Amino acid sequence: MSAAHHSSEQTVTVTRTIAATREAVAALPRPLGLVATMGALHEGHLALLRVAAGQCAAVVVTIFVNPTQFGPHEDLSRYPRDERRDAELATAAGADLIFAPPVAEMYRPGAATTVRLDGPLATLYEAAERPGHFDGVATIVAKLLSIVGPQRAYFGRKDAQQLAVVRRLTADLDLPVEIRGLDTVREPDGLAMSSRNAYLTPAQRAKAPELYRALQAGRARAADGSRAIVAEVTAKLVIGFPPNLRLADDPDDPRPSFSVDYVAVVDPLSFAAVGEQRPDPAILDTMTPDTMAPDPVAPDSLIIAAAHLGATRLLDNVAVGPATAEASDPGSSDSAARQEATARQNTTPYEPHPHGGAAAAKEE
């Protein structure tokens, strides 16, 4: 049952095995929603949960730090984990079942199947920066959809390429589930919420919102074409904003600076590049927006960027035309839920149980 139907004595079951999860799911009412997470829940996850609870008769939350989507030198070992806190947050936000399996349950000895996509989705941007990442994402999402069997699954738009991968695999495999993408939930200063934001030092945290500001600056150049957008975003990331401009690659400047992985304008479904683009910051001095001939940019295109602040990698995106992106996705039409999620950003880490009782979890 959704959060609106939880009683103060409601106990939310936590399952550890696929068999127990399928048995528990069979008893839940339909339509059934799924919110797949790696734990370390924040307001972005909880916003997905609240929307799912409002649109579905029951909601399953998965908590699983998936090792196959981490590269050999990434942060698998230090990725934040606090399952008790996550269970409390998920329960208060409307979860009816929590599936938190061990790695050995999801990847058994002898497993030899991987879900792998082709095309720009599987070769460019995040796929190029993190080889094998989307193989791991596609495989675990396909497994979770098979185990839970939801009618709707909810994902955030911050990880736009991941959302496109999930849409593509469910369409190609004819999976009977509706994928709903919801707007990125941001901190009051604009930084997209992410579990990895906890890695930022205070100085880096103060710098981090400039990623979103740079994307907004790029969107303002949309009429000048995709090359102008890429040039504007890259310049803002490398040089900064007045009055705190910096020389690119100045080793004597102690302030935190972005190391840009990519900036691009892409189709939101295929992630094919839109128009002619030159995103390499190494040629920043040749990228003069005012001298570039405009190339058409469809209003539903995405401006995407990824950059490092120290050891922490941040990624974000904005739509060239936000209204068109919303209109194409029924999962994002709940503006009241988005406003509520934004309002909660300045409140306590999680809300009390709807009827005042303590959220409880029962393990199976």
In the chain, domain spans = 3-182, 195-324
Percent over 70 (pLDDT), the chain: 78
Share of residues in the chain with pLDDT > 90 (%): 70
- Fold of the domain spanning 195-324: Pantoate--beta-alanine Ligase; Chain: A,domain 2 (3.30.1300)
Q: Which alpha helices (DSSP H) does 173-301 contain, by range?
A: 202-207, 210-219, 226-239
Q: Are strands 58-63 and 302-309 parallel, antiparallel or unpaired?
A: unpaired
Give the pLDDT confidence of 2-57 residue by residue, as tens digits.
544 454 456 799 999 999 999 999 999 999 999 999 999 999 999 999 999 999 99
CA distances (Å), 218 to each of 3, 19, 229, 320, in order?
39, 49, 4, 9
Which distant-in-sequence residues (6+ apart) come within 8 Å of 214 by Cβ?
232, 233, 236, 237, 305
Q: Which pLDDT belongs to residue 100?
A: 98
| Closest alpha carbon to 43 in 250, 350, 318 | 350
pTM of the model: 0.83
Longest distance between any two alpha carbons in the chain, whole Å: 66
Q: What is the DSSP letter of 36?
A: E
Consecutive 10-residue runs of the chain (364 residues): their mean pLDDT?
Answer: 50 94 98 96 96 98 95 87 95 97 97 94 95 97 98 97 98 98 97 94 96 97 96 94 70 80 97 75 51 76 97 96 44 37 33 34 65
Mean pLDDT for the chain overall = 84
The predicted pLDDT at position 243 comes to: 75
- Just list the catalytic residues: 45
Identify which of 7, 3, 40, 13 has the alpha carbon closest to the alpha carbon of residue 98. Answer: 13
Question: In CATH, what number does 3-182 get?
Answer: 3.40.50.620
Q: State the pLDDT at residue 91.
A: 97
